[in-house]
């Protein structure tokens, strides 16, 4: 697969990342939750590929204008030692179809676009996407599981790619959570990661980190990430 197309699933993943265009950091898999009405969220993290000299910087602000809709506009920059730089802009709308409640389930959907400026090229292209999201709460929210299926129109490569993700967050204390997930896009190998989320200020500021891996050709990839999430 061309290196430029690899950036697309990464960006999509974060999106909802979070909130990325998603479940909250450090998830790539999205969840059926959004920022509180009238509230704002900033998610940012650095990701370092250990098997290659590659670094990513992500910045994803989100806003709920006072309804069941969350708006995200952000992006990321990628720097490699051998291939140069690449950038992407992410625009996304996320809405709740069924709010997630304690010991219950919820549904959401995200639609948006990703404009990518690939490695070694000045030409960019918007790629629209849709992601269907479900979440299940158990044990009074001590365990929450998320599942995603989606479709990305990769116009950089002129290919439509199906995506999926499955993740779980598990409370160990009121402030410390363990996360684990696996996710993939059509034509690639699945990625997995595990991590920790810690609330420095409960429901206002968290720090997090992950370790992940992907068995791919011509070599396996592994990474670490460190991030922050602020709600206000």
Mean pLDDT by 10 residues, the chain (232 residues): 40 36 77 96 93 88 94 91 81 96 97 79 78 97 97 84 95 96 89 96 96 81 94 96
Count: domains in the chain: 1
Residues β-bridged to residue 222: 213
Q: Residue 18: left (phi > 0), alpha (psi -120 to 50), or beta?
A: left
End-to-end alpha carbon distance in the chain: 40
The single residue listed with the structure tokens 């592994």 is: 222
- Which residues constitute the domain of residue 173? 3-231
The CATH code of the domain that includes 221 is: 2.40.160.40
pLDDT recorded at residue 120: 55
Nearest to 146 by CA among 41, 24, 229: 24
The pTM for the full model equals 0.85
């Amino acid at each position: 697969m061309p290196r430029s197309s690899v950036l697309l699933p990464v960006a999509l993943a974060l999106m909802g990342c979070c909130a990325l265009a998603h479940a909250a950091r450090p998830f790539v898999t999205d969840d059926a939750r959004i920022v509180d009405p009238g509230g704002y969220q900033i998610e940012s993290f650095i990701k370092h590929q250990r098997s290659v000299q590659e670094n990513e910087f992500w910045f994803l602000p989100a806003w709920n204008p006072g309804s069941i809709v969350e708006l995200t506009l952000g992006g990321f920059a990628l720097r490699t030692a051998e291939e140069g730089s690449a950038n992407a802009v992410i625009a996304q709308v996320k809405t709740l179809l069924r709010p997630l409640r304690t010991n219950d389930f919820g549904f959401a959907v995200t639609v948006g676009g990703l404009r990518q400026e690939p490695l070694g090229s000045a030409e960019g292209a918007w790629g629209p996407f849709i992601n269907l999201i479900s979440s299940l709460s158990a044990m009074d929210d001590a365990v929450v599981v998320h599942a995603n299926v989606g479709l990305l129109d990769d116009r950089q490569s002129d290919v439509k790619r199906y995506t999926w993700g499955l993740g779980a967050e598990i409370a160990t204390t009121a402030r410390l959570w363990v996360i684990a997930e696996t996710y993939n896009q059509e034509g690639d190998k699945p990625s997995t990661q595990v991590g920790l989320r810690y609330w420095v200020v409960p429901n206002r500021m968290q720090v997090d980190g992950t370790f992940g891996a992907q068995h791919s050709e011509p070599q396996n990839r592994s990474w670490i990430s460190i991030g922050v999430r602020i709600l206000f």
